């Protein structure tokens, strides 16, 4: 989305140690390895990239301001696939040859449950106070319910306070508001890359705030223990690199479970990142949108709000909301997936057992309600963000519905979460099985709605141009994925595949993906990395 200032490390062009593929899956023959050649002219790894928030435009004769042209440029450059999809959207009856959308991170598995709950009589009351201007922070009854809800599901060591809650119409608005009130124009946030690409727009369009990508690599070298691992050392190097270019960094953005990787930060790592931020007087914005979508029982999850002590509470800001998923219409999802009964069996996964909590309502699949909330102990930040709620406020009727939903713990625990986890797990098992059958490597994390897929071997040359051509071949074959460049991934050939969809659409989507890959050359001109090793199905 931005032109990046490329920085190369001064590390000698030799492998730091045997590359590992722990935490990835594929079906290559055992023992397949490709050794680093150690050529003197080998390209050195990029450590960070400073986003340029002001693209260069030629005079187009439009009636827009320079800011308007930038805003239009974002739309034109980032929305092609989504617009194409909406012009030719798959419908089983009306348009069976339309595009299957496996690129947008939406949970389409539980609309039936949500529709029934949101249609009950307690959701349909209209009181006079709901038709008037509220406190710009949100109605007190909702902020009290949000505080109780997060205290419980985040396992907060102390009860969270309603006065620290601000309610807006979605998490995109929250990112925009926080960037505007925390940074001056031209200042920056650090963010591990690959990352959810729309954050670039959210921070830039209003506040003109940059993102400094902290590049993560698929190879496991040095002290890393898993692919795409974030470390304090990488944060330090990116911070110092940005400073050397004259860019002032004001904060750090963390996403857990991470989008698109699905990574979950253990408590000890979270603590290290927060201590790093405190040392450098950086704000930390934590986005835990998929916190209750951890569907593998073996995966533990801990919220930043569950930590016994925040190193810098005044600079730690937590986001949560219903953003990123579709309207809550009933689409007839049954209680069976691929012929298997799902729902009332099994225990809650680690995401609820340890119950973290930021961005939980993404798990409810209701972005159509446009609800987002901020939790911060910094009252100046809360007040500044609340002031922007004049432009990003939430309907009183929606606030009432959200409060009713959040207080219904029995339905959340015994109906929705049990069923949602079971359906996510079944859908993930189907797609991962199809990828294994194709011999396609991927990250297996057991959280979120998506799988991070390695399609580098299908690129004739490992370049972003070839990545885009492969993406277009998928779109031409009526299946929409998201390419790695959209997430600022520095390695061409990675794609995000969303699996949280109904069985018949997943089957058809995977069939179309298979047709594209079977017709694509699997011989890359050069190895995609310094050293690769076969993935033997290790799970993390």
Q: What is the DSSP annotation of 238-283?
A: HHHHHHHTTPPEEEEEEESS-TTT-----HHHHHHHHHHHHHTT-E
Are residues 468 and 516 both part of a single domain? yes
- Where among 396, 419, 442 does a domain terminate? 419
- State which residues of the chain have pLDDT below 70: 1-45, 53-61, 78, 322-369, 521-540
Query: What is the structure's pLDDT at 409?
Result: 93
> Is the residue at 73 inside a domain?
no
Nearest-angstrom CA–CA distance, 14 and 140: 59
Are residues 401 and 504 both part of a single domain? no
Query: What is the structure's pLDDT at 12?
Result: 29
Nearest-angstrom CA–CA distance, 328 and 223: 44
Query: What is the structure's pLDDT at 205?
Result: 87
Boundaries of domain holding 322: 125-419
Three-point CA angle 412, 290, 268, nearest 5°: 110
Are residues 101 and 144 both part of a single domain? no
> Is the residue at 65 inside a domain?
no
> Is the residue at 336 inside a domain?
yes
Tokens of 175: 């990112």
Are residues 250 and 341 both part of a single domain? yes
Query: What is the structure's pLDDT at 521?
Result: 52
Q: Is 303 exposed, middle or buried (0-12, 13-18, 19+ CB in 10 A)?
A: buried
**pTM (2 d.p.):** 0.82
Are residues 92 and 161 both part of a single domain? no
Provide the CATH number for the domain around residue 438: 3.90.1150.10
CA distances (Å), origin 212, targets 187, 193, 232, 241, 368: 10, 9, 15, 9, 31
Instruction: For residue range 114-165, list pLDDT tens digits in order.
Output: 889 989 999 988 889 888 888 888 999 999 999 999 998 889 999 999 999 9
Reduce the DSSP state of residue 333 to 3 states and report it: coil
Are residues 141 and 25 both part of a single domain? no
Residues β-bridged to residue 451: 497
Nearest-angstrom CA–CA distance, 82 and 198: 13
Query: What is the structure's pLDDT at 369?
Result: 62
Are residues 190 and 92 both part of a single domain? no
Query: What is the structure's pLDDT at 333?
Result: 30
> Is the residue at 75 inside a domain?
no
Provide the CATH number for the domain around residue 314: 3.40.640.10
CA 83, distance to chain mean position in Å, is 20
Query: What is the structure's pLDDT at 172?
Result: 85
- Where among 374, 392, 419 does a domain terminate? 419
- Provide the number of structural domains found in the chain: 2
Are residues 432 and 411 both part of a single domain? no
């Amino acid at each position: 989305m931005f032109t990046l200032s490329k920085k190369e490390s001064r590390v000698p062009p030799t492998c730091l140690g045997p590359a590992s593929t722990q935490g990835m899956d594929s079906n290559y023959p055992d023992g397949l390895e490709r050794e680093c050649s150690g050529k003197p002219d080998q390209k050195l790894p990029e450590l960070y990239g400073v986003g340029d928030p002001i693209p260069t435009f030629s005079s187009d004769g439009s009636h827009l301001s320079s800011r308007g042209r930038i805003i239009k440029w974002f739309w034109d450059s980032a929305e092609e696939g989504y617009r194409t999809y909406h012009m030719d959207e798959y419908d089983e009856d009306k348009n069976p040859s339309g595009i299957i959308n496996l690129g947008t991170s939406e949970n389409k598995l539980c609309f039936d449950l949500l529709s029934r709950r949101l249609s009950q009589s307690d959701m349909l009351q209209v009181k006079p106070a709901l038709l008037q201007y509220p406190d710009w922070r949100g109605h007190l009854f909702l902020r009290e319910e949000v505080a109780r809800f997060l205290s419980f599901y985040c396992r907060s060591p102390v009860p969270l306070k309603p006065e620290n809650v601000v309610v807006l119409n979605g998490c995109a608005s929250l990112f925009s508001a926080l960037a505007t009130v925390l940074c001056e124009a031209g200042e920056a946030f650090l963010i591990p890359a690959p990352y959810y690409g729309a954050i670039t727009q959210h921070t830039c369009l209003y506040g003109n705030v940059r993102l400094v990508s902290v590049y993560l690599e698929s190879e496991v070298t040095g002290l890393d223990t898993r692919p795409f691992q974030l470390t304090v050392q990488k944060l330090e190097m990116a911070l110092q690199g940005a400073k050397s270019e004259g860019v002032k960094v004001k904060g750090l953005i963390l996403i857990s479970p991470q989008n698109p990787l699905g990574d979950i930060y253990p408590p000890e790592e979270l603590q290290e990142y927060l201590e790093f931020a405190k040392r450098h007087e950086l704000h930390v914005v934590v986005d835990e949108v998929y916190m209750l979508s951890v569907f593998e029982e073996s995966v533990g999850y801990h919220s930043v709000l569950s930590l016994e002590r925040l190193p810098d509470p005044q600079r730690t800001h937590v986001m949560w909301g219903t953003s990123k998923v579709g309207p809550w219409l009933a689409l007839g999802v049954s209680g069976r997936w691929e012929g298997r009964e799902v729902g009332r069996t099994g225990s809650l996964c680690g995401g609820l057992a340890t119950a973290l909590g930021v961005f939980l309502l993404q798990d409810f699949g209701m972005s159509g309600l446009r609800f987002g909330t901020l939790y911060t102990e910094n009252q100046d930040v809360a007040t500044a963000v609340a002031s922007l709620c004049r432009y990003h406020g939430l309907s009183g009727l929606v606030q009432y519905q959200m409060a009713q939903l959040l207080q219904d713990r029995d339905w959340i625990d015994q109906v929705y979460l049990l069923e949602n986890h079971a359906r996510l797990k079944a859908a993930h098992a189907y797609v991962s099985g199809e990828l294994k059958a194709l011999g396609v490597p991927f990250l297996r994390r057991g959280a979120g709605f998506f799988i991070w897929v390695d399609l580098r071997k299908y690129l004739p040359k490992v370049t972003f141009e070839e990545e885009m051509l492969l993406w277009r071949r998928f779109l031409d074959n009526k299946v929409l994925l998201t390419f790695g460049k959209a997430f600022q991934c520095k390695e061409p050939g990675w794609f995000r595949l969303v699996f949280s969809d109904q069985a018949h659409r997943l089957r058809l989507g995977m069939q179309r993906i298979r047709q594209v890959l079977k017709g694509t050359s699997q011989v890359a001109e050069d190895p995609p990395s310094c050293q690769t090793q076969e993935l033997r199905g290790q799970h993390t």
